[in-house]
Amino acid sequence: MTALRFQLAPGQALAFAADPPPNTSPLAHERLLELYYDTADLALWRAGWRLSTRWRTGRWQLRLQGGDLKQPLLWDVQDCAVDCTKLPFKGRLGQTLLELLEGQELSLQLRLDGQRQIWEWVLAAGGRGRVTLEQGAVQVADLHLRFHELALSLPPLADETRWTALQQLLVPYEAVPSLQEPVVRGFERLRQAVPAFHKAQRAELDRGLSIEQAFARIVESCCRHFLANEEAVRAGDVEGVHQMRVALRRLRSCLRLFRALVPRAASAELVEEIRWLNGLLAAARDWDVFQSEGLQPLREHFPKRRGLAMLWRQVEQHRRQCYQRLHQGLELTRYRRLTLQLWLWLCCRRWRTGLTAQQYQALQAPLAAFAKAELRRLRRRVRRLGERFDSLDGAQRHRLRIRIKQLRYATEFFADLYLAARSDAFRQALSTLQDHLGAMNDALMTRRLLDELELAAANATRALVEGWYGGRMDLQLRDFAPYWQAFRDCRPPWKGR
């Protein structure tokens, strides 16, 4: 069975429960009640364990899961309190628990309370699955985190059949992917009072994978990075906005990297919607960068300049407006549909649609040769343009930065195929070049933002800001040559010893 989880808006969950989709029949309706215990510093959770008592079929059970356990351990207990005499304090598992709990007391950390409804789902193409609707709240201190989630269990299906079935079930209810169980979100909130931003994680590739398997893992890594930052973006976190934008850039770089084997048409509709969302993120991010990396240092150097104080207020107003438009975008059906279609595109291997037998066969080839060829191709493109750096104008330097970024992302995607030290050194050389070119590009971005503020060219404050960025650009131009030479001298990870 394939297991998938999706979130619903409260109204959509109510509609689903009241009028389930066709071809479903009710199986069960039960109470969800589970109390999670841990030490004050969440020693169990941080080590990958969960200890809880739960109400099931008229009795309380003590439940321990995590670590190397394939299945949770269950014991009947008298009430909702933890009966430590039931816990296995012998053997390797017992030693682990003793070390984690030594000198500490267990206390209630969060409470999950809700309802679960289960339906059998008869699929049009044959086979039977299950649809589970879970609704309720996770109580964390004084905070109640509401959840309305669909959990789907599907039998093995052809890609096209799975795609059609999921579309018919999920699209009418505007479902969106759920990457974390409600309890996990609760513990994350315990560890940090506000939603945290998340950086990209490696796709974990190896040389035994096919090209298609590697492509799917990279796409999944990018999707998870994107979705993991939604809460932080909704909370107005600056770094969350940056990370969501990075996730979409990485995804588009992945699609370009594999374009020879996964044609542009396979993802054209998704890319168009990604471009729309990235426009909202980019506008907010540009004002963030201008305010924190441009105006803030200037105000510290010239604290008495009234013009800078006025400019700061204008920038803050524009920044807030961009965040408002971004948050409004996240509430649109268009955004919810994008997240769903992107996740289903991955789960159903939608890029296979329209491939010829020859193209499909090419995707099944070993990864190593493809990765090496693509990295070499991207490196040649960077060097071909970078060797003419002194003659490049602003637009061409920006193009060079994009090529460097594409090579850096590809190096990160394929890092597990090569020696870590070699990959890290090469990626660091690229990152340094990208940062220097980014600082140069900031000067061009600043002119555009000042134009949006309608500051005249003769305005004294504008002259001060542009002079500041001009000085920074001169420094970056002067320092570029040694960093470029360091990149040229850095041995690529795919080359032999």
pTM of the predicted protein model: 0.92
> What phi, psi does 111 have (nearest 5°)?
-130, 130
Q: What are 286's two structure tokens? A: 């540009």
Which pLDDT value is given to residue 394? 84
- Residues of 364-383 as b/e, b for ≥16 C-beta within 10 angstroms? eeebbebbbebbeebbebbe
Q: Is residue 478's pLDDT more than 90?
A: no
pLDDT band at 191 (very low <50, low <70, confident <90, very high): confident
User: 3-class SS at 174?
Assistant: coil
Which tops the pLDDT comparison, 33 or 477? 33
Q: Is residue 497's pLDDT more than 80?
A: no
Which pLDDT value is given to residue 52? 96
Which pLDDT value is given to residue 59? 92
Helix (H) or strand (E) holding 54: strand 49-56
pLDDT in tens, 328-380: 999 999 999 999 999 999 999 999 998 989 999 999 999 999 999 999 999 99
Q: What are 214's two structure tokens? A: 């590697």
pLDDT in tens, 79-126: 999 998 898 888 888 899 999 988 889 999 999 999 999 999 998 777
Which pLDDT value is given to residue 496? 64
Which pLDDT value is given to residue 2? 65
Number of Cβ within 10 Å of residue 130's Cβ equals 18
- Least confident piece of the model among 79-83, 192-196, 370-374, 394-398: 192-196
Asked if residue 228 lies in contact with residue 246, where contact means CB atoms within 8 angstroms, the answer is no
pLDDT in tens, 408-443: 999 999 999 999 999 999 999 999 999 889 888 888
**Mean pLDDT across 399-413:** 96
CA distance 457 to 450: 9
**Mean pLDDT across 203-214:** 94
Q: Whose structure tokens read 């080590």?
A: 47
Q: What are 96's two structure tokens? A: 């682990």
Which pLDDT value is given to residue 458? 82
CA distance 422 to 427: 9
pLDDT in tens, 246-303: 999 999 999 999 999 999 999 999 999 999 999 999 999 999 999 998 899 999 999 8
Q: Is residue 1's pLDDT more than 60?
A: no
- Strand-pairing partners, residue 7, are 149, 176
pLDDT band at 54 (very low <50, low <70, confident <90, very high): very high
**Mean pLDDT across 163-182:** 94
Asked if residue 301 lies in contact with residue 464, where contact means CB atoms within 8 angstroms, the answer is no
Q: For residue 83, what are the contacts with CB-CB under 8 A and spacing of at least 6?
A: 62, 75, 77
CA distance 90 to 102: 14
Nearest Cα residue to 34 out of 113, 120, 121: 113
Q: Is residue 195's pLDDT more than 90?
A: no
Which pLDDT value is given to residue 378? 97
Which tops the pLDDT comparison, 113 or 68? 113
| Mean pLDDT estimate for the chain | 93
